[in-house]
Chain A
Amino acid sequence: MTVVSTTLGLFPLPDDARERLADLKGHQKEDLVSGDEAPDIEAVYDEARDDLLTRQADADLDRAVEGQARWDDMLAHPLAVHENVRTEGIVRYYDNNNFYRDPVVTGDLTHSGDLARDLERASALTDSLQAVVPGPYSLSRLATDDHYGSSQAFLAALGDFLAGEVESFPDAVETVFVLEPSLATESLDDGEDERAAAAIDTVAAATDAEVVVQSYWGTYGEKLHAHLLDTDVSALGYDLVTAHDDATYLVQEYGTLDSVSLGVVDGQNTLVESPDTIEERIEWFRDQIPVSEFDTVYATPNTELFYLPVNKFQAKLRALGALGGDRE
């Protein structure tokens, strides 16, 4: 079994980049990223990406993410910068004290290449690149449809859209994490769970990289879990910070895939877990389930790390980076 230490994407902006971007872009809704930033702003993003990749290298993480310094709207970013989407008022990001622009889809979600461009730039800075994208179901819940006409059509369109984006990722991308918090925070109706899994499958089919579906703030319903196990993804992710018992029950009862991703570091608390504590959490999970031999265990925070101040974010990276390697 190999433990791969990695993270879920969106990072806090380094202090210098935060201050410079605030000065260059402003603090209001209309000042958020649009996808056609001026060169001086793009230069700050490039420096921030370099900084965030250096921090991951220093922490010795096995897979490095791009850091998503441009993602002003958290998971809604790919839509917020799309030409067929208009952004409206500031709305709450899940049950957090964070907000993003409401993306209203007004036309076909054609391929944009926005994510691929950032990953291309990152691929020049690391040999172990991991991409992170929102899942189609979560994106459907974070956005407003003013074009496709039904929740089913909208979800399917988001699956196709994300597949198009993923397909254009550089070959250097080794893993794609698909973040799906809404799969845990909502109860999906009969049929909706199957459609969500199908949309994820569409995304997974678009790449040769390992695809990991990660949910958090709870875990999957039993039916949904079963549908996810039928997809072609490589691993399902479980939040062991907020839902360790429920997640373990699911795996005990229904099994999981050959690889697994475990949210073992609290992405929303400044208390920094020691490497020993993280190791214990992984071992605890393995002890609870009948078959504990996985090909790969991805060790991650349970959420994105942008909730943290920079010093604690860095400390969490180091704690995770102390993990990796092969195990018995």
Chain B
Amino acid sequence: MSENREQFRPPGHENDHFLLTTVVGSYPKPSWLNRARDLHDDPDSEFDDDDWREAQDDASRLITNEHERAGLDVVVDGEMRRNEMVEFFAHRIDGYEFNGPVKVWGHNYFDKPSVTDEVEYGESWLVSEYEFTASVADRPVKVPITGPYTLASWSFNEAYEDEEALAYDLADLVNEEIEKLVAAGARYIQIDEPALATTPDDHAIVGECLERIVSGIPDDVRIGLHVCYGDYSRIYPELLDFPVHELDLELANGDYDQLDVFKNPEFTKDLALGVVDAHVAEVESVEQIERNIQKGLEVVPPEQLTVSPDCGVKLLPREVAYGKMENLVTAARNVEAKLDSGELTPDLN
């Protein structure tokens, strides 16, 4: 168990046991925010930069409060200011340029950037987002950051000898950003590395990136790593060597068919378990989520378990996203109560 976990237990928490509840990061944007963006992008509109900033602030405040209303212990603002997980950061890093959208699937495209020069830290990435969110939140705030390996893998590399060299330089920039976030008060950072699960042979590169990222970061700052999709058996137990406190995994989507991967050898990190599916537009029942949480207790004891959705939920209808969070929190508190009463005993095997 990581010693920095208890700082997120709310004062007056009603159960002795504590399952930390949070989200991975993204959340559906209010439809009016998308309308506002269209207006801002329209050169004929009078919707100026100040109007756009105000709209983003309002959306950020709204979703942060929505997370609190659902009862989550640690909240984010749903990434209201971010368009896409690579593009957002590439716009803020010197050395990147954009040439236009590229296909992901069907008519879904993203503005995949090109690294055309050595990457350097330009403007701050997330400090103002964090400071705003923290100022409107009554709960601790988590900061998700796209990891350097994914930033490198999901860009075109025109400038570096190989992707590995690019990833290491980007890791140094992520480290610089986290130092600024920590100075601003952030205590919970999540590195998102979805690219790792698609290229498992590169886990050593991700490990070296993480060593650079955490260099000089105080121990009381909780560092998580989110890895989604893919065949986890190809990156476990190597994941345990990473210098992070928590591993956040997508398992509900596969109905926990990969759960046994994490039982042997012993899972020595904190486990952030996906207990609702981010790709299914129905709200799981509280009872179903309780059963999912108990899957996590087959891997780690309660003091090592964090409960979250499988992944960012931005593609879901907003009322479904909220319903999932609300039920997730209720289920977690129910499981805590059952653990307190002895009705439920962790069954590590």
Q: Known interface pairs A269-B157, A270-B156, A271-B158. Does A98 touch B101 (Cβ–Cβ under 8 Å)?
A: no
Partner of B104, one of A21, A26, A32, A99: A99
Q: Are A309 and B101 in contact (CB under 8 A)?
A: yes
A21 and B106 alpha carbons, distance in the complex (Å): 10
Q: Are B156 and A269 in contact (CB under 8 A)?
A: yes
Within B83-116, which residues are at the interface with A (CB < 8 Å)? 99-109, 112, 114
Which of these binds chain B: A89-97, A141-149, A154-162?
Answer: A89-97
Task: List residues of chain B with CB within 8 A of the CB of A291.
Answer: none
Q: Are A310 and B105 in contact (CB under 8 A)?
A: no
Cβ of A220 under 8 Å from chain B: no
Within B180-198, which residues are at the interface with A (CB < 8 Å)? 195, 198
Task: List residues of chain B with CB within 8 A of the CB of A270.
Answer: 99, 114, 156, 158
Q: Are A312 and B99 in contact (CB under 8 A)?
A: yes
Within A73-111, which residues are at the interface with B (CB < 8 Å)? 90, 92-93, 95, 97-100
Task: List residues of chain A with CB within 8 A of the CB of B195.
Answer: 97
Cβ of A72 under 8 Å from chain B: yes
Task: List residues of chain B with CB within 8 A of the CB of A28.
Answer: 106
A28 and B281 alpha carbons, distance in the complex (Å): 13
Task: List residues of chain B with CB within 8 A of the CB of A12.
Answer: 102-103
Cβ of A22 under 8 Å from chain B: yes
Cβ of A311 under 8 Å from chain B: yes
Q: Are B198 and A97 in contact (CB under 8 A)?
A: yes
- Could you tell me the distance in whole angstroms from the C-beta of B193 to the nearest C-beta in chain A? 13
Q: Are A269 and B198 in contact (CB under 8 A)?
A: no
Q: How large is the interface on A (under 10, 10 to 19, 20 to 34, 35 or more residues)?
A: 20 to 34
Partner of B100, one of A15, A26, A72, A92: A15
Task: List residues of chain A with CB within 8 A of the CB of B157.
Answer: 269
Q: Known interface pairs A95-B199, A97-B154, A270-B99. Does A27 touch B104 (Cβ–Cβ under 8 Å)?
A: no
- Could you tell me the distance in whole angstroms from the C-beta of A319 to the nearest C-beta in chain B? 14
Cβ of A244 under 8 Å from chain B: no
Cβ of A205 under 8 Å from chain B: no
Q: Are B100 and A310 in contact (CB under 8 A)?
A: yes
Q: Are B158 and A97 in contact (CB under 8 A)?
A: no
Q: Known interface pairs A92-B198, A269-B156, A271-B158. Does A18 touch B102 (Cβ–Cβ under 8 Å)?
A: no
Cβ of A29 under 8 Å from chain B: yes
Task: List residues of chain A with CB within 8 A of the CB of B109.
Answer: 18
B-side interface mostly? mixed
Within A276-311, which residues are at the interface with B (CB < 8 Å)? 306-311
- Could you tell me the distance in whole angstroms from the C-beta of B339 to the nearest C-beta in chain A? 36
Task: List residues of chain B with CB within 8 A of the CB of A100.
Answer: 105
Task: List residues of chain B with CB within 8 A of the CB of A25.
Answer: 106-107
Q: What string of 1s and 0s marks CB contacts (under 8 Å) between A8-31 and chain B?
A: 000011010010011001111101
- Could you tell me the distance in whole angstroms from the C-beta of A242 to the nearest C-beta in chain B? 12
Q: Are B102 and A308 in contact (CB under 8 A)?
A: yes
Within B6-29, which residues are at the interface with A (CB < 8 Å)? none
- Could you tell me the distance in whole angstroms from the C-beta of A318 to the nearest C-beta in chain B? 15
A32 and B104 alpha carbons, distance in the complex (Å): 13
Task: List residues of chain B with CB within 8 A of the CB of A269.
Answer: 156-158
The residue in A28, A97, A98, A268 that gathers the most chain B C-beta atoms within 10 A of its C-beta is: A97
Task: List residues of chain A with CB within 8 A of the CB of B108.
Answer: 27
Within B104-153, which residues are at the interface with A (CB < 8 Å)? 104-109, 112, 114, 153
- Could you tell me the distance in whole angstroms from the C-beta of B17 to the nearest C-beta in chain A? 37
- Could you tell me the distance in whole angstroms from the C-beta of A67 to the nearest C-beta in chain B? 13
Within B154-180, which residues are at the interface with A (CB < 8 Å)? 154, 156-158
A95 and B234 alpha carbons, distance in the complex (Å): 15
A53 and B99 alpha carbons, distance in the complex (Å): 22
- Could you tell me the distance in whole angstroms from the C-beta of B321 to the nearest C-beta in chain A? 17
Q: Are B198 and A271 in contact (CB under 8 A)?
A: no
Q: Are B156 and A271 in contact (CB under 8 A)?
A: yes
Closest A residue by C-beta to B195: A97
Closest B residue by C-beta to A309: B100
Q: What string of 1s and 0s marks CB contacts (under 8 Å) between B58-85 and chain A?
A: 0000000000000000000000000000
Q: Known interface pairs A270-B114, A270-B156. Does A99 touch B105 (Cβ–Cβ under 8 Å)?
A: yes
A166 and B109 alpha carbons, distance in the complex (Å): 31
A28 and B99 alpha carbons, distance in the complex (Å): 25
Closest B residue by C-beta to A315: B99
Task: List residues of chain B with CB within 8 A of the CB of A32.
Answer: 106
Closest A residue by C-beta to B99: A309
- Could you tell me the distance in whole angstroms from the C-beta of A235 to the nearest C-beta in chain B? 28
Closest A residue by C-beta to B110: A97
Partner of A22, one of B105, B107, B112, B199: B107
Task: List residues of chain A with CB within 8 A of the CB of B229.
Answer: 92
Q: A93-B105, A95-B198, A268-B156 are in contact. List 14 more A-B contacts (CB 8 A).
A: A12-B102, A18-B109, A21-B107, A25-B106, A27-B106, A29-B106, A32-B106, A72-B106, A92-B198, A97-B154, A98-B105, A270-B99, A309-B99, A311-B99
| Complex A-B, nearest 9 residue pairs according to Cβ-Cβ distance, in ascending order | A309-B100, A99-B105, A22-B107, A271-B158, A309-B99, A270-B156, A270-B114, A32-B106, A269-B156
Enumerate chain A interface residues (CB-CB to B < 8 A).
12-13, 15, 18, 21-22, 25-29, 31-32, 72, 90, 92-93, 95, 97-100, 268-271, 306-312
